[in-house]
Structure 1
Amino acid sequence: MFDHSHDHDHDNHYSDMQARVRALETLLTEKGLIDPAAIDAIVETYETRVGPRNGARVVAKAWANPDFAEWLRVDATAAIASLGYTGRQGEHMRAVFNTPDTHNMVVCTLCSCYPWAVLGLPPVWYKAPAYRSRAVINPRAVLAEFGVTLSPETQIRVWDSTAELRYLVVPERPAGMDDLGEEALAGLVTRDSMIGTGLALAPRTAS
């Protein structure tokens, strides 16, 4: 079991690595080598503006535009770059599409390779050894822990990201959404749905 309920850590619950990072940041700040405001701005950019909104717009465009969806299927790197979303750990991409028969899920078993330019900062649980091992061994049970229960007939495909190739899951488009534009559709796409540990939202549950 792993905790994916939230991605932030309270001050008194740092892991060893988080404590080291905090100590290093404090030391560099005291020496005047970094500006904490600049660090906060970078983090905020990756968490909100760079992603996962970028990925949501990619998915929404694929839902709304069959030609773009086919381009994304054939050459995700170029299709995503056409929207201006390139950069750190997002240069080589592959899009995998969920269908009624197949559900895709992404993991990085050897490290934590993640398409920052499209999905923003990786969630803590994505880098956790429990997720990285159990997602491969028993993906259906892991999905259930995220609240995703699939039909026994649905095949689950687990894709292992590497330093050379990263994946974007295109979740199934919710039914009855034909009248929504791309911006509204993007609001139905969550970060977890683009990793495969979640589903797209129905409009009534979108925030």
Structure 2
Amino acid sequence: MNVREAESGRLLAAVSAILAERGLVSADELAERVAVTEAASPAQGARIVARAWREPDFRALLLRDGTAAAEAAGVFMRGMPPLGVLENAPEIHNVVVCTLCSCYPRAVLGYPPFWFKSPAYRARTVRDPRGVLAEWGTVIPDDVRIRVVDSTADYRWMVLPTRPAGTEGWSEERLAGLVRASDMIGVTCPDAQG
């Protein structure tokens, strides 16, 4: 452990002790939150997407109240900003960006990928979304509107991508295997041919 990590550890311990002493949060609650955060990964979001593709009622809940749907899928959301879910459709393609920093639905997708936090992605996606998507190999037809949505500290967003053709009858597990973090941000689209 280097000096910076040691100092960060001491600071975290001191803040945790103060929070516990004042009755704001217990040591167990902090430990639980750390464990949940460390366990979060794009696989959780992929399971949610696959379930939405297979279950119309769950899909409706996901689009109406992403936080409630995530909790119904077993994702711990207490204390997290609300989760909004944008559905890609034949006439619209959604892409998520955080223009100020790296606000990301961590509880559902884990830590943001390095590119999501980069100043280039954040700035260019707003100015030239088609160009950015094309660099990812995602070519959106000219007649499809691209909506860029800003994730914020108050509200986090993810994308419900379009289910790939030819996946009818697939299990939830097999469908989830198609979904990448970049699909749930909208810079790529799942592909059954993979």
Verify same fold: TM over 0.5. yes
Task: Tell me how far 1:83 sits from its aligned partner.
Answer: 1.2
SS in 2 for 1:192: coil
Distance 1:89 1:168, change over 3 A: farther
CA–CA distance in structure 1, aligned partners of residues 75 and 110 of structure 2? 11
Aligned CA RMSD, in angstroms, stands at: 2.5
* 2:154 matched residue in structure 1: 164
Match of 1:135 among 125, 134, 139: 125
Q: Is the Cα contact below 8 Å between 1:92 and 1:166 reproduced in 2? A: yes
In 2, the alpha carbon distance for the partners of 1:190 and 1:95 equals 16
Q: How does 1:11-160 map to 2 (within 5 A)?
A: 24-25=4-5, 46=38, 49-87=39-77, 90-160=80-150
**1:178-193 alignment, distance < 5 Å:** 178-193=168-183
Identity among equivalent positions (%) equals: 48
Gaps of 5+ in 1: 1-21, 35-41
Which runs of at least 4 in structure 1 moved beyond 3 Å after TM superposition? 87-91
Counting matched residue pairs gives: 171
Q: CA deviation at 1:196?
A: 0.5
Task: Deviation per CA, 1:56-111: give whole Å up to 9, x if none.
Answer: 01100100001111111111111111112124884410110001111000000011
State the alpha-carbon separation in 2 of the partners of residues 116 and 75 from structure 1. Answer: 17
Shift of the 23–157 alpha-carbon distance from structure 1 to 2, 3 Å rule, reads farther
CA distance in 2, matches of 1:86, 1:197: 26
Please list the CA deviations of residues 150-197 of structure 1 after superposition, one character each: whole Å capped at 9, or x if unmatched: 111111000101111001101000012111011111011110000001
How far apart, in 1, do the equivalents of 2:52 and 2:45 lie? 11
d(CA) in 1 for partners of 2:164 and 2:42? 19
Where does structure 2 lack aligned partners over 5 or more consecutive residues?
Answer: 14-33
Cα distance change of structure 1 residues 142 and 149 upon mapping to structure 2, 3 Å threshold? same
- Distance in structure 2 (CA, Å) of the matches to 1:174 and 1:166: 25
* Distance 1:89-1:143 versus aligned 2 partners, 3 A rule: farther
**Structure 1 stretch displaced more, 133-142 or 88-97:** 88-97
Tell me which residue corresponds to 2:167.
177
Give the distance between the partners of 2:88 and 2:97, measured in 1 at CA: 16
Question: Normalising to structure 1: TM-score of the pair?
Answer: 0.75
**TM-score, length-scaled by structure 2:** 0.80
Report the AA paired with residue 4 of structure 2. L
One-letter amino acid of the structure 1 residue matched with residue 46 of structure 2: A
